[in-house]
Amino acid sequence: MKLRVLSCFLLVLLPLAAAAREDAPRTRTEYYSAYVSVDAAGRVTGAEMLGDVPRAVRNLLQDTARKVEFEPARKGGVPVPSRTSLTLKMSLEQAGNGDYFARVVDVGGGSVAFDKRRRVPFPGIAASAGYGAGVLVRLSIRADGKVDMANSRIERVALARHGKPSDDAARRESFEKAVLRAVAKWTFAVEEVDGQPLATRVLVPVSFCPQASCADWPIDVLSAADARPAPQDADVQLARPREPAPDTKQAP
C-alpha cells in the first residue's frame, strides 16, 4: 500500500510505504510537534520535529513548519529572536486500492510541546465501573523544562459514568491523583526568548476514556486559547503565528 502525502501548505506529493489493513479506518488524524527558531522579523529560520515521526513525513512536516510566518517574540516591547513550538495536524483519508491521501490541514502555534511524557495510568476501579474523565491541570514549567509541582494544580474535572455526568467524589479524586503522579515526571520543550530559556505556565488536558477510542467519549475541558503557554515574566511576549489573509486559499 502507498501513502501519498499532500500538504496544503507546500503542495507536495510524497509516496510512503505502509502495511495494508482491511479494517483500517477511512479517515484518521495525527498530530505532530515541531520546535522552531523564529527571528526578530517573524521568519522561521529552523525547524525540528519532536517525538516519534515517520521518516517519510518528517521532511514534509519540517518544510511546512518553515513556511509559517510569526508575530515575533518581544522583550520589553522590542522584537527579539525566539524558539517556540508548533502543532501540525495531519489528516489521512482512504482513497481506494489500499491508498491513503495525507495532508497537513492545520498548524497551531503556542501549544505546549513535550520532550518526554509518560502515560497516565487509568484508575483500575474507575475503569471497571465505566467511569471516564477529562482532567485539566495547570502546570508551572521551569526554565529547564521540568514541572514545578509546588505551583501546579488541578484546574477542573469533568466526570462521567456510562456517558452521563457524575459527581462521585472518590472517583474524581482517583483521576486527579493519577494525573498529578504522572505530570511530575513530564518534561517540556522550553520556550526561549532572546536566547534565554523561559519559565511558563500552561493548561494541559488529560482524557480518560473507558473504551479504546476517545472519539465516542468526548469530554472536553480545554479551549484553544487555554492551550497557549504564558510566560511567567510579564515583560515578555511569546512568538505566535500570524493569521492568514482572509482571501488566502489552501489546497483541499
Sorted by where each starts, the structural domains of the chain and their CATH numbers stand as 2-109 (no CATH), 118-237 (3.30.1150)
Average pLDDT in the chain: 78
Go through 219-236 and write b for each residue having 16 or more CB atoms within 10 A of its CB, e for each that does not: bebbeeeebbbebbeeeb
Tell whether the model's pLDDT for residue 74 goes beyond 90: yes
Q: Is the pLDDT score of 72 beyond 90?
A: yes
The answer to whether the Cα torsion of 54, 58, 59, 65 is positive or negative is positive
Of 139 and 225, the structure prediction assigns the larger pLDDT to 139
> 12: pLDDT confidence band, cut at 50, 70 and 90?
very low
Mean of pLDDT values over 204-226: 62
Residue 144 per-residue DSSP state: T
Q: How confident is the model at residue 134 (pLDDT cuts 50, 70, 90)?
A: confident
Is 161 in contact with 129 (CB distance < 8 Å)? yes
- Note the pLDDT of residue 132: 86
Query: What's residue 204's pLDDT?
Result: 86
Residue with the larger pLDDT of the pair 54 and 2: 54
Closest by CA to 3, choosing from 105, 103, 106, is 103
